[in-house]
Amino acid sequence: MTTRNPSLPGLKNRLHEIIFEADTPEGKLFDLLLLAAILVSFFAVILESVQPLHDRYATLFLWIEWTVTILFTLEYILRLWIVEKPVRYATSFFGVIDLLSLLPAYLSLLFPVTHYLQIIRILRLLRIFRVMKMAKYVKDSYLILIALRNSRRKITVFLMTISLLVVLLGTLMYVVEGQVNEGFDSIPRAIYWAIITLTTVGYGDITPVTSLGQMIASVVMILGYSIIAVPTGIVTSEFGRSHRVDTTTQTCPFCMEEGHVPDAAFCHKCGNLLNPQEHFPV
Amino acid sequence: MTTRNPSLPGLKNRLHEIIFEADTPEGKLFDLLLLAAILVSFFAVILESVQPLHDRYATLFLWIEWTVTILFTLEYILRLWIVEKPVRYATSFFGVIDLLSLLPAYLSLLFPVTHYLQIIRILRLLRIFRVMKMAKYVKDSYLILIALRNSRRKITVFLMTISLLVVLLGTLMYVVEGQVNEGFDSIPRAIYWAIITLTTVGYGDITPVTSLGQMIASVVMILGYSIIAVPTGIVTSEFGRSHRVDTTTQTCPFCMEEGHVPDAAFCHKCGNLLNPQEHFPV
Amino acid sequence: MTTRNPSLPGLKNRLHEIIFEADTPEGKLFDLLLLAAILVSFFAVILESVQPLHDRYATLFLWIEWTVTILFTLEYILRLWIVEKPVRYATSFFGVIDLLSLLPAYLSLLFPVTHYLQIIRILRLLRIFRVMKMAKYVKDSYLILIALRNSRRKITVFLMTISLLVVLLGTLMYVVEGQVNEGFDSIPRAIYWAIITLTTVGYGDITPVTSLGQMIASVVMILGYSIIAVPTGIVTSEFGRSHRVDTTTQTCPFCMEEGHVPDAAFCHKCGNLLNPQEHFPV
Amino acid sequence: MTTRNPSLPGLKNRLHEIIFEADTPEGKLFDLLLLAAILVSFFAVILESVQPLHDRYATLFLWIEWTVTILFTLEYILRLWIVEKPVRYATSFFGVIDLLSLLPAYLSLLFPVTHYLQIIRILRLLRIFRVMKMAKYVKDSYLILIALRNSRRKITVFLMTISLLVVLLGTLMYVVEGQVNEGFDSIPRAIYWAIITLTTVGYGDITPVTSLGQMIASVVMILGYSIIAVPTGIVTSEFGRSHRVDTTTQTCPFCMEEGHVPDAAFCHKCGNLLNPQEHFPV
Report the complex ipTM.
Answer: 0.78
Which position has the higher pLDDT, D124 or B229? Answer: B229
**Contact in structure between D127 and D121 (CB atoms under 8 Å):** no
The partner residue sitting opposite C116, judged by closest CB among B156, B175, B234, is: B175
Rounded Cα–Cα distance for residues C202 and D221 (Å):
14
Structural domain contains residue C133 = no
A172 and A232 share one domain: yes
What's the pLDDT band for C281 if we cut at 50, 70, 90? very low
Q: Find the closest chain D residue to B50 by CA distance.
A: D211
Number of B/C CB contacts below 8 angstroms equals: 131
Type of residue found at C257: E
Rounded Cα–Cα distance for residues C86 and C84 (Å):
6
The partner residue sitting opposite A221, judged by closest CB among B136, B155, B195, is: B195
**Contact in structure between B224 and B199 (CB atoms under 8 Å):** yes
The C residues from 207 to 246 touching A (CB cutoff 8 Å) are 232, 236, 240
A119 and A194 share one domain: no
> How many Å lie between the alpha carbon of B167 and the closest alpha carbon of chain C?
8
A37-46, B54-63, B258-267: lowest mean pLDDT where?
B258-267
Interchain CB contact of A198 with D (< 8 Å): yes
Structural domain contains residue B51 = yes
D121 and D193 share one domain: no
Q: Which residues contact D148 (CB under 8 A, 6 or more apart)?
A: C230, D155, D235, D238
Note the helical H segments in chain D. Answer: 10-20, 25-48, 51-82, 86-91, 93-110, 128-131, 135-150, 152-177, 187-198, 211-227, 229-241, 276-279
What's the pLDDT band for A281 if we cut at 50, 70, 90? very low
* Mean per-residue pLDDT, C55-73: 91
* Mean per-residue pLDDT, B207-215: 93
* Mean per-residue pLDDT, C242-247: 43
C-alpha pair distances (Å), B108 with each of A79, B65, B112: 66, 11, 4
Rounded Cα–Cα distance for residues A212 and A85 (Å):
66
C-alpha pair distances (Å), D96 with each of D2, D89, D100: 18, 8, 6
> How many Å lie between the alpha carbon of B244 and the closest alpha carbon of chain D?
13
Instruction: State if pTM tops 0.90.
Output: no
Amino acid D263: pLDDT: 47
Q: Kindly report, residue by residue over A222-258, the tens digit of the pLDDT.
A: 999 988 888 888 888 887 665 443 445 556 565 555 5
> What's CA B154's distance to the chain center, in Å?
21
- Of the three residues D101, D127, D153, the one that is the final residue of a domain is D127
Interchain CB contact of A137 with D (< 8 Å): yes
Q: Find the closest chain C residue to D202 by CA distance.
A: C202
**Do the chains contact at D122 and C167, CB–CB below 8 Å?**
yes
Q: Of D117, D126, D154, D199, which to mutate for an interface test with C (greatest number of C Cβ within 10 Å)?
A: D199
**Contact in structure between B221 and B197 (CB atoms under 8 Å):** yes
Q: Residue B272 pLDDT > 90, yes or no?
A: no
**Do the chains contact at A200 and C200, CB–CB below 8 Å?**
yes
The partner residue sitting opposite B237, judged by closest CB among C51, C188, C239, is: C239
D36 and D100 share one domain: yes
Rounded Cα–Cα distance for residues D230 and A228 (Å):
12
3-state class of A71 per DSSP? helix
Q: Considering only CA atoms, which of B174, A218, B214 is closest in space to residue C195?
A: B214
D18 and D120 share one domain: yes
**Contact in structure between C266 and C139 (CB atoms under 8 Å):** yes
DSSP annotation of D83: S
Type of residue found at A239: F
Q: Of C201, C220, C237, which to mutate for an interface test with B (greatest number of B Cβ within 10 Å)?
A: C201
C-alpha pair distances (Å), B260 with each of B148, B242, B256, D28: 20, 11, 11, 61
What's the pLDDT band for A8 if we cut at 50, 70, 90? low
> How many Å lie between the alpha carbon of C146 and the closest alpha carbon of chain D?
17
* Mean per-residue pLDDT, C205-228: 93
Rounded Cα–Cα distance for residues C143 and C151 (Å):
12
**Contact in structure between A247 and A261 (CB atoms under 8 Å):** yes
C-alpha R_g of chain A: 26
Judging contacts by C-beta atoms under 8 Å, the chain C residues touching residue B237 are 236, 239-240, 242-243
> How many Å lie between the alpha carbon of B217 and the closest alpha carbon of chain A?
16
C46 and C109 share one domain: yes
> How many Å lie between the alpha carbon of C84 and the closest alpha carbon of chain B?
31
Interchain CB contact of B179 with C (< 8 Å): no
A20 and A94 share one domain: yes
Interchain CB contact of C204 with B (< 8 Å): yes
Structural domain contains residue A271 = no
Q: Kindly report, residue by residue over C94-127, the tens digit of the pLDDT.
A: 888 888 888 888 888 888 777 777 788 888 877 7
Q: Residue D106 pLDDT > 60, yes or no?
A: yes
**Do the chains contact at B230 and C49, CB–CB below 8 Å?**
no
> How many Å lie between the alpha carbon of B204 and the closest alpha carbon of chain D?
8
Rounded Cα–Cα distance for residues B45 and B105 (Å):
11
Q: Considering only CA atoms, which of C39, C104, C37, C102 is closest in space to residue C76?
A: C102
**Do the chains contact at B197 and C201, CB–CB below 8 Å?**
yes
Sign of CA dihedral A263, A267, A272, A276: negative
* Mean per-residue pLDDT, D133-155: 80
B111 and B186 share one domain: no
Interchain CB contact of D156 with C (< 8 Å): no
- Of the three residues A93, A127, A161, the one that is the final residue of a domain is A127
Q: Which residues contact A39 (CB under 8 A, 6 or more apart)?
A: A125
Type of residue found at B139: K
Q: Kindly report, residue by residue over A193-210, the tens digit of the pLDDT.
A: 999 999 999 999 999 999
Structural domain contains residue B264 = no
Interchain CB contact of B203 with A (< 8 Å): yes
Amino acid D188: pLDDT: 93
DSSP annotation of B273: B
The B residues from 38 to 57 touching A (CB cutoff 8 Å) are 42, 45-47, 49-51
Average pLDDT of chain B to the nearest whole number: 80
Number of A/B CB contacts below 8 angstroms equals: 131
Angle at A230 between CA A225 and CA A234, to 5 degrees: 150
Rounded Cα–Cα distance for residues D86 and D102 (Å):
17
Average pLDDT of chain A to the nearest whole number: 80
What's the pLDDT band for C77 if we cut at 50, 70, 90? very high
Structural domain contains residue C274 = no
CB atoms within 10 A of CB A226: 20
* Mean per-residue pLDDT, B25-41: 86
**Range among A227-231, B217-221, C239-243 with highest mean pLDDT value:** B217-221
Judging contacts by C-beta atoms under 8 Å, the chain C residues touching residue D190 are none
Q: Which residues lie across from A273 on neighbouring strands?
A: A266
Q: Find the closest chain C residue to B194 by CA distance.
A: C201
Q: Residue B277 pLDDT > 60, yes or no?
A: no
Q: Considering only CA atoms, which of D116, D192, B85 is closest in space to residue C175?
A: D116
Judging contacts by C-beta atoms under 8 Å, the chain A residues touching residue B144 are 154, 157-158, 230, 234
Rounded Cα–Cα distance for residues C101 and C116 (Å):
11
Q: Residue C247 pLDDT > 80, yes or no?
A: no
What's the pLDDT band for B130 if we cut at 50, 70, 90? low
**Contact in structure between D47 and D109 (CB atoms under 8 Å):** no
3-state class of C21 per DSSP? coil
Structural domain contains residue C276 = no
Rounded Cα–Cα distance for residues B66 and B60 (Å):
10
Structural domain contains residue A221 = yes
D89 and D169 share one domain: no
Amino acid A244: pLDDT: 41
**Do the chains contact at B167 and C51, CB–CB below 8 Å?**
no
**Do the chains contact at D204 and A200, CB–CB below 8 Å?**
no
Interchain CB contact of A200 with C (< 8 Å): yes
Rounded Cα–Cα distance for residues B84 and B12 (Å):
10
* Mean per-residue pLDDT, D136-148: 81
Residues in chain C: 282
Angle at B128 between CA B122 and CA B130, to 5 degrees: 135
Judging contacts by C-beta atoms under 8 Å, the chain C residues touching residue A204 are 203-204
Structural domain contains residue D277 = no
Q: Residue C196 pLDDT > 90, yes or no?
A: yes
Q: Residue B123 pLDDT > 50, yes or no?
A: yes
Q: Kindly report, residue by residue over D219-244, the tens digit of the pLDDT.
A: 999 999 988 888 888 888 887 665 44
Q: Which residues of A237-274 are buried (b: 16+ CB within 10 A; e: fewer)?
A: bbbbbbeeeeeeebebeeeeeeebbebbbbbeeeeebb
3-state class of C219 per DSSP? helix
B160-169, C143-152, C213-222: lowest mean pLDDT where?
C143-152
What's the pLDDT band for A190 if we cut at 50, 70, 90? very high
Judging contacts by C-beta atoms under 8 Å, the chain D residues touching residue B200 are 200
Note the helical H segments in C83-186. Answer: 86-90, 93-110, 128-131, 135-150, 152-177
Task: Identify the chains in contact with B, defined as 3+ C-beta pairs within 8 A.
Answer: A, C, D
Rounded Cα–Cα distance for residues B117 and B2 (Å):
30
Amino acid C169: pLDDT: 94
Q: Which residues lie across from B266 on neighbouring strands?
A: B273
Q: Which residues contact C15 (CB under 8 A, 6 or more apart)?
A: C78, C82
**Contact in structure between C37 and C114 (CB atoms under 8 Å):** no
Q: Kindly report, residue by residue over A70-121, the tens digit of the pLDDT.
A: 999 999 999 898 888 888 888 888 888 888 888 888 888 888 777 777 788 8
Q: Residue B156 pLDDT > 80, yes or no?
A: yes
Angle at C269 between CA C266 and CA C270, to 5 degrees: 70
Sign of CA dihedral D176, D178, D179, D181: positive
Amino acid C244: pLDDT: 41
Q: Residue A7 pLDDT > 90, yes or no?
A: no
Sign of CA dihedral B223, B225, B227, B228: positive
Share of chain B above pLDDT 90, in %: 24
Judging contacts by C-beta atoms under 8 Å, the chain C residues touching residue D122 are 164, 167-168
State in Å, rounded, how far the first CA of chain C is from the last one. 10
> What CATH number should be reported for the domain holding residue A218?
1.10.287.70
Q: Which residues contact B117 (CB under 8 A, 6 or more apart)?
A: B100, B103, B104, B107
- Of the three residues D97, D127, D157, the one that is the final residue of a domain is D127
3-state class of C271 per DSSP? coil
3-state class of A266 per DSSP? strand
C187 and C207 share one domain: yes
Which position has the higher pLDDT, B153 or C113? Answer: B153
Share of chain A above pLDDT 70, in %: 79
DSSP annotation of C9: -
Range of the domain at D90: 7-127
Rounded Cα–Cα distance for residues D153 and A141 (Å):
9
D152 and D114 share one domain: no
Number of C/D CB contacts below 8 angstroms equals: 133
What's the pLDDT band for B111 if we cut at 50, 70, 90? confident
Query: What is the number of structural domains in chain A?
Result: 2
Q: Kindly report, residue by residue over D189-198, the tens digit of the pLDDT.
A: 999 999 999 9
C-alpha R_g of chain C: 26
Q: Residue B90 pLDDT > 50, yes or no?
A: yes
> What CATH number should be reported for the domain holding residue A114?
1.20.120
Rounded (10°) angle between helices C211-227 and C229-241:
0
Judging contacts by C-beta atoms under 8 Å, the chain A residues touching residue B154 are none
The partner residue sitting opposite A236, judged by closest CB among C202, C204, C236, is: C236
C-alpha R_g of chain D: 26
**Do the chains contact at D204 and B203, CB–CB below 8 Å?**
yes
Which position has the higher pLDDT, C15 or C195? Answer: C195
The partner residue sitting opposite C204, judged by closest CB among A204, A232, A240, is: A204
Which position has the higher pLDDT, C217 or A11? Answer: C217
Average pLDDT of chain C to the nearest whole number: 80
Q: Which residues contact C181 (CB under 8 A, 6 or more apart)?
A: C208, C209, C210, C213
Q: Residue C223 pLDDT > 90, yes or no?
A: yes
* Mean per-residue pLDDT, B211-236: 91
Interchain CB contact of B281 with C (< 8 Å): no
A110 and A206 share one domain: no
- Ramachandran bin of B133, using left for φ above 0, alpha for ψ from -120 to 50, beta for the remaining angles: left
